[in-house]
Chains A and B, each alone.
Chain A
Amino acid sequence: MTRAAAAARVGDPPDAADADRAGAAGSVVLRGLTKRFGAVTAVDALDLTVAPGSFTTLLGPSGCGKTTVLRLVAGFAEPDAGTVHVGGRDVTGVPPDKRGVGLVFQDYALFPHMSVRRNVEYGLRMRRLPRQARAERVARVLATLGLEGLADRYPDQLSGGQQQRVALGRVMALEPQVLLLDEPLSNLDAQLRVRLRTELKELQRTLGVTALYVTHDQEEALSLSDEVVVMDAGRVQQAGSPEDVYRRPASRFVARFVGQANLLPVTAVGTEGDGRLRAAWERGELVLALPDERVPAPGTAGVAVVRPERVALAGPDGADAAAGPGSAAALALPGRVTAVDYFGPYRRYTVAVPGLADPWLADVPDAEDRHRRPGDDVTLTVSGEPSWAW
């Protein structure tokens, strides 16, 4: 690597190079991160470790603090407490232009007075890379993103998807170890969003760059991520693989925010070992999967979470057929259909259950559907193991 190229590598001052090679390169570590805006605590003593090369998503409703976390990492805001480490280097208090993380903005923030080429070149100019090296790097980035033909266009002459690519290319040109993405797909139409999602994931894997991605779209989070971090009220509610978060949400909030959830109030009875819990509900006992190492003490109130695709509908007298504590089949609830919505692959039944405030949802595959109508009495049966949520 030439001297100039080395200097152009973002966030990689010579003295930090050794530490980077030791394995911290590309990691993002947040410790006790707190940010207040007046009386509002946007980020509340947040701890988070993003593994190098991973695709990690901060998922949460608007106002949950996820964008603030991203801005704290990028250096656009300073935390009231806590530290930000990027690639093993403490960057707390370091101004944004010296942080060495690339950020793709929700609105792309392309410079409207510069061509695509000049936009992509901008960061390299700021780092005073020689002209030749700049040209080569820009050409490579444009080729990678399929933007060669658009190099001399201006942002207002590009489609949304093209602008999005330029925004990504502008950051990629600096070859950062960490890529921050702030809802980069939210301004695109649905089909393009899905296509770019796939491209983005491939690109991230090819480059081996660490991606920290912010979104409120749970589908996007589940499909893109190695690790999903669900946030609410400035705190991490749950962090884990997409499967973990979806199948075993740790809290009611996560259960409801990630996908649809049917909840049944339960009380912990005792551990079954093997990450399982025995819990009592109104009419019997259930075995529930635990989302993490925490084991609720006997008597703790919680909910059993059942995803709608795990619910099947049986006739009104089916409730008697499914009995026997300890098995998932123990869970059978009588109810009455209140609404039916057809989605193509499945039909979603909304079923009012006596004694429960919220109705249950049952997604019945189109092929197995017996076309029940609102007003029909049914029995809800559950396949697989429900999970415990606090």
Chain B
Amino acid sequence: MAAAAVGAAAGGRGVLRRWLRDLGHDPVLALGHAAVALFLLGFVVAPLVAVAFAPGPADWARVAATPRWRTAALNTLTLVGLSTASSLVLGTLYAFAVTRARLPLRRLFEAVPLVLLVTPSFVSGLAFILLVGRRGLLTYHLLGLETSVYGWHGVWLAQTLSFFPVAYLVLRGVFLAHDARLEQAARGLGASRWRLLGTVTLPLATPGLLAAGLFIGIGVLGDFGNPMLVGGRFRVLATEVYTELTGWASVGTSAALGLLLLVPAVLLFAAQQRVQAATAGRFTTVGGRASGLEAPLPPPALRWALFGLCAAVTLFVAASQGVVVAGSLTRLWGVDHALTGEHYAYVLTRSRPLLNSVRFAASAALLGALVAAVTAYLVHRTRVPLRRGLDLATLLPAAVPGTLMGVAYVLVFNRPPLKLTGTGALIVIAMAASYLPVGYRICSAALQQLKASLDESAANLGASRARAFLTVILPLTWTAVAAAFAFTFVQAVGTLSTVIFLVSFDTPLAAVDVLNLAAQGRWGRACALATALLVVTFAGLGLAYLLTGGRLRGIDAAGRVGA
């Protein structure tokens, strides 16, 4: 123990000494290093450490003894199994259809998962309620059913739709990377089209499936928006964390519930990192050079089944976005379907939440992209001390359920020295930290494609690290940084899980308001606000796309980290 402390102190001194040396050689680098290190320490690591020690023995005992939470835990695990499996199946089929089946309307089908990926979860949630809810367009009005989407099956369906794009992106990459020669060779060796799928195509995709599955599992564990909107009385841990803190102001038990989520999430995350590292090399050798050959077509029956699947998903997505717009123009959905502009009038007269969402998300995107780019540079292109630590801390939010992060922020920033609760700054920081892994992966991928000799030649020609970054590295990777900005913005505009703990009377957010309006049954206003957010989201993406001349890179990286 004492030896470990001495060792840590010596290690700390070594780090400090090397940092001071860097400060002398290259002050901008050293200060940038210190800045991101302090940001990650202050806003990622410290809150998590604090929240880990928040629950006392009494809190843990209560959590263990309460049947309601046992049920919630069981529900969460069940959903992880169900939604992960269904997302994987749908994502794989969809990716296979788009990359291999040479379907008509392929371009349209390719766009759908990407649209879903950037659509805030509450839009789908709202659409669900409007389409298949108690007074749903499909169920009540067309089919005359009195069923309810609220409950486990609704959450399952909503999560499948939310998470299949992640599987789709990973598997699409896998299918595109596979050398068609392998499959042509298998055909040449006498494999039938069906045998080919089972013996070559799917086995080659297994590592990708595994990585995507682990990742989706983490997402489902921490998913807050879908269960909140369509869960009804079906409770999961992520929503319980929120209820426990906001309803009962019990930091200890809500932290304990969040930590229950953290353990499996971190395990899945570690497994996912391992799978990715272990298979990275194999993928590239399998991929290798793109040969001009096209992969063999799947059997016709399968092709048309796949077309049907893609068309159904596309129609559903179009319908769900359309129904939200329709809902925003309807006086009272399910009761009075008269056309009205009153909901937009409401949204525009009370425009503060919307403006806040845009401002905060844009600031968060700026902050996040900056931290991501600098950290990625430091980790992948320099030999500054603590690189491994920076790398882990940057990826950590991907493994931390958003609600736990929310509790942690409330816990740490509710008192001096950093009393930030109720400020927009804290919301901005929370958004930036939550989506740091996405931006970091995008920037890392771009940096790793640059030859190391570029930095070295800049240095050899007399450029300091900071100048090499500004004159060589940034100009060559700025489209990735722009992508990091765009994706952080898109996710931040629609996020609920962490920020829902941090909004105050002075800092309302549109996404949280949508949830509240929906909870009050004010569908029209909720839909109008959601539509406005959707417009902002796509406007932001479009702007980024135009500014980079259509070279917004790294959307696949976003898929790898998950939404």
Contacts and interface: CB of A to CB of B under 8 A. Distances in A.
Interface of A: 10, 74-76, 95-99, 101-103, 105-107, 109, 111-113, 122-123, 126-127, 170-171, 174
B462 A126 contact: yes
Given A95-B25, A95-B26, A10 B462 contact: yes
A107 B461 contact: no
Contacts of B461: 97, 122-123, 126, 170-171, 174
A76 B464 contact: no
B456 A97 contact: no
B463 A97 contact: yes
B350 interface: no
Interface of B: 25-26, 451, 453-454, 456-464, 467, 471-472, 475-476
Contact of B459 (A10, A95, A107, A171): A95
A174 B25 contact: no
A171 B26 contact: no
B472 A123 contact: no
Contacts of A74: 456, 460
Interface centre among B461, B463, B471 (most CB of A within 10 A): B461
A169 to B, nearest CB: 12
Given A109-B454, A113-B475, A170-B457, 6 more contacts: A74-B460, A96-B460, A109-B451, A112-B476, A113-B476, A126-B462
Chain B CB within 10 Å — which of A96, A105, A112 has the most? A96
A127 B457 CA distance: 14
Contacts of A112: 476
Given A112-B476, A113-B476, A122-B458, A105 B453 contact: yes
A113 B470 CA distance: 13
A170 to B, nearest CB: 7
Contacts, number: 64
A97 B469 CA distance: 13
Given A95-B26, A107-B451, A113-B475, A126 B463 contact: yes
A310 to B, nearest CB: 42
B453 A107 contact: yes
Nearest to A75: B459
Given A111-B472, A112-B476, A113-B476, A96 B459 contact: yes
Contacts of B471: 122
Contacts of A97: 459-464
A122 B468 CA distance: 10
Contacts of A76: 456, 459
A126 B462 CA distance: 6
Contacts of A101: 460
A192 B467 CA distance: 35
B380 to A, nearest CB: 15
A341 to B, nearest CB: 34
Contacts of A106: 453
A285 to B, nearest CB: 54
A10 B464 CA distance: 14
B542 to A, nearest CB: 25
Contact of B456 (A109, A127, A170, A174): A109
A96 B451 contact: no
A103 B457 contact: yes
Contacts of A95: 25-26, 459
Given A97-B462, A174-B462, A105 B457 contact: yes
Contacts of B463: 97, 122, 126
A102 B459 CA distance: 10
Contacts of A105: 453, 456-457
Q: Which of A74, A98, A106, A111 has the most CB of B within 10 A?
A: A111
A91 B459 CA distance: 15
Contacts of A107: 451, 453
Contacts of A170: 457, 461
A113 B454 CA distance: 11
A112 B476 CA distance: 8
A306 B325 CA distance: 89
A356 to B, nearest CB: 42
17 contacts: A74-B456, A95-B26, A95-B459, A96-B460, A98-B462, A103-B456, A105-B456, A111-B454, A111-B458, A122-B461, A123-B461, A126-B462, A126-B463, A126-B467, A170-B457, A171-B460, A174-B461
Nearest to B454: A109
A105 B476 CA distance: 19
A291 B461 CA distance: 40
Given A111-B472, A113-B476, A126-B467, A102 B460 contact: yes
Nearest to B25: A95
Given A95-B25, A113-B475, A127 B453 contact: no
Contacts of B472: 111, 113
- Most A CB contacts (10 A, CB to CB) among B453, B462, B463 go to B462
Contacts of A171: 460-461
Contact of A109 (B25, B26, B457, B467): B457
A83 B116 CA distance: 59
B479 to A, nearest CB: 12
Contact of A96 (B454, B456, B476): B456
B256 to A, nearest CB: 42
Contacts of B456: 74, 76, 96, 103, 105, 109
Nearest to B478: A113
B118 to A, nearest CB: 29
Closest 3 CB pairs of A and B: A123-B461, A109-B453, A126-B462
B475 A123 contact: no
A343 to B, nearest CB: 34
B433 to A, nearest CB: 32
